[in-house]
Chain A
Amino acid sequence: MNQYMLSVYEAEGAVAGAPATPEAMQAFLGRVIALEEEMDRAGAFVFGGALHGPDAATVVRGGTGLDKVTTDGPFVEAKEHIGGFYVIEADDLDAALAWAEKVVEATNHDIEVRPFRATGRVQAATD
C-alpha cells in the first residue's frame, strides 16, 4: 500500500465553488461525511481535515538567540494556499486518482494528488 495526499487549494481565502447558503453547506457537509465514511470502510482513510486561512499562519525559523525569528503570515506569499487535505492509502496512483475523483465530486473543487511518505507518528504504509 502507498499513501497519497489529496489537497484542495483555495484562492485568496475562498474555495471556488464553495457552498454559499446554509442549505448548500448542509448538503456539502453531508457529501463530505459520506465520502469519509466510504474511505473508512475501504480502509483508505488515514487522516484529513480543513485548515484555517493563511492569515492565521505563523512562520517559525531556526537559529539561536537573536537569529530566532517568528513572523506573522504564511511561508509563501501566494494567491493560492492549501485549504484542506486528506492522506489516504491506495494500491497505486490509479486507485488514488479514483478517490480524488470522488473528492472532486463531493467538494466541487479541483484536487492535487501527491505521493505521501510517512515519517514519525503517522503510521507508514504497509508494503
Chain B
Amino acid sequence: MDDVERAFREAHGPAVATLTRLFGDLGLAEDAVQDAFVTAVDRWPRDGVPDNPAGWIVRTARNRAVDVVRRDRRGRELTEKLASDPLRAGSPADEQTSEPLRDDQLRLVFTCCHPALRVEHQVALTLRLVAGLSPAEVASAFLVSEETMAKRLVRAKYKIKAARIPYRVPDDTELPGRLRAVLTVLYLVYNAGADVGARGELRAEAIRLTRLLVTLMPDEPEVAGLLALMLLNEARRPAHGEADVVLLKDQDRSLWDRVLIVEGQELVLGALRRRRPGPYQLQAAIQALHCAARRYEDTDWASIVRFYDRLISVMPTPVVALNRAVAVAETDGPGDGLLLLDELAGELGGYHPWHAARGSMLKRLGRRPEAAAAYARAAELARTEPTARFLRAQSERLERDAEG
C-alpha cells in the first residue's frame, strides 16, 4: 500500500463520520468523500500529501457536499447550520483530534453495526465506510463478486435511510447489547482474514478498527479484551506454518512476536482489573496464558481450566466446552477429557476439531484403531485441503502403528 492509499484509508472513516453528522445523510457523505479522494488523486502526487490528510479530505468533501445541497431547497438551511459549526472555525490539526470527530466515528460504527441490519451487511458497511476499503476490496475479501457486494451496500444504505437508523451512540441501557454487535463484526472481520492467507489484510484492518474503538471507548474492558485476543492470535501466526496446521504443541515459539504478546498481555491485565469480565477478556486471558509459556510443557493448564470455567458460565457454547475439555485432559488426564468430549457428540458431531480432539485423546489412551477412525472422520469434515491432508496423515500413521 502506498502513502496516498494509506492516507485515504485512514481518512475515510473520520471523513464519512463527520460529513454524516453535518449533513444527516450517509449516502451524500460517502459520495462527497469519494469526490474528495478523486481530487486528491489528482493533486497529491503533484503537490505532495498534506500534513493532515484527514483534515484536508474532510474540508474538501464538506465543500463538495455544500455545493451539492445548495442546489436543492434544503441548501440554505444547511449552509447556515454549517456556518455555526465549531469544526469550521478550527484549524486542521484541531479537527483530527477534536471530541466531535471522535464521537462522529463512534456514531458511524454503531450505525454500521445496528442490529436492524443483517450481519453480513454490518460487516460490509463497516469495512467500506469505517475502514475505507473500496467496494472491490470488500468483495474480494468475502469471495463475492463486486456486483453482489455493491448490491449489498446499496441495500444496507437504503435501509439506514428509509428506516431512519439513528446516527447516535446508544445510551447506557442499550450500550452493552449494541457494543456486543460491534465487537462481533470486528471479530468476524479478523477471523475472515485468519481463514485464508490471501486475506491477511483483513486481520490488519480488524486490528486497526479495534485499536480505534479502544481509544474511542477506553472504559469498556471488553473492547480491550477483543484487541488483546486479536493481538495474541496474531503474535503466533508466524509459527502456524504455510499450511496453517502446526499444532500449538509443535510450534516454534521463537517465531512468536514478543512485542504483540506483551501488548496483548498488558491489555488483558488492565481489562481484568476493571472487574467486569466478559467473553473476549476471558478468551484473551486464556491465550495470554498460552503465550506466557516459553515451552509447551510449561503451560499453566490449571489456570487455563479455571478461566475456561469462567468463560463457559458467560458463553456456554459447545465450542467453548470442547476447548475446556482439551484443557481438562491436560490437568486430569485424557480419560476425563474424553468423557467431557463425548457429552458434546450431539452438538459437535459435524465439527472436525471435535473429531480431531477425540483422536488425540484416544491416541493418548492407547486406543489406536479408534483414534485412527476419529482422525479419518475429522479429515472428511475439514473445510480446507491442508487441514484435511494433515488429519489424514495422523490417521494413516496410527493405522500403520496399529498394524506394526
Contact = CB atoms under 8 A, between A and B. Distances in A.
Interface string A72-96: 0000000000000000000111101
B165 interface: yes
A2 B24 CA distance: 15
A28 B108 CA distance: 40
Interface residues of A, number: 11
A94 B166 contact: yes
A92 B164 contact: yes
A13 interface: no
Contacts of A93: 114, 116, 163-166
A115 interface: yes
A115 B174 CA distance: 22
Contact of A115 (B114, B162, B168): B162
B264 to A, nearest CB: 35
Nearest to B164: A92
Q: Which of A91, A93, A97, A114 has the most CB of B within 10 A?
A: A93
20 contacts: A4-B163, A91-B164, A91-B166, A92-B164, A92-B168, A93-B116, A93-B163, A93-B164, A93-B165, A93-B166, A94-B165, A94-B166, A94-B170, A94-B174, A96-B163, A97-B116, A113-B163, A114-B163, A115-B162, A115-B163
A96 B164 CA distance: 10
Interface in A85-121: 91-94, 96-97, 113-115
Contacts of A94: 165-166, 168, 170, 174
B116 A115 contact: no
Contacts of A2: 164
Contacts of A115: 162-164
A111 B234 CA distance: 42
A interface: dominant SS: mixed
Q: Which of A2, A4, A92 has the most CB of B within 10 A?
A: A92
Interface in B95-128: 114, 116
Interface in B164-197: 164-166, 168, 170, 174
B350 to A, nearest CB: 29
A115 B164 CA distance: 8
Given A92-B168, A93-B164, 7 more contacts: A2-B164, A91-B164, A93-B163, A94-B174, A97-B116, A115-B162, A115-B164
A51 to B, nearest CB: 23
Contacts of A97: 116
Contacts of A114: 163
A91 B170 CA distance: 14
Contacts of B164: 2, 91-93, 115
Interface in A1-15: 2, 4
A10 to B, nearest CB: 23
Contacts of B116: 93, 97
Q: Which of A91, A92, A94, A113 has the most CB of B within 10 A?
A: A94
Q: Which of B114, B116, B163, B166 has the most CB of A within 10 A?
A: B163
A92 B116 CA distance: 12
Interface string A33-76: 00000000000000000000000000000000000000000000
B116 to A, nearest CB: 6
Contacts of B170: 94
A115 B162 CA distance: 6
A24 to B, nearest CB: 31
A91 B167 CA distance: 12
Contacts of B114: 93
B165 A92 contact: yes
B109 to A, nearest CB: 15
A4 B163 CA distance: 8
Interface in B31-79: none
Nearest to B166: A92
10 A-B pairs with least C-beta separation: A92-B166, A92-B164, A93-B163, A115-B163, A93-B165, A115-B162, A2-B164, A94-B166, A93-B164, A93-B116
Nearest to B165: A93
Nearest to A90: B164
A115 B165 CA distance: 10
Contacts of A4: 163
A91 B166 CA distance: 9
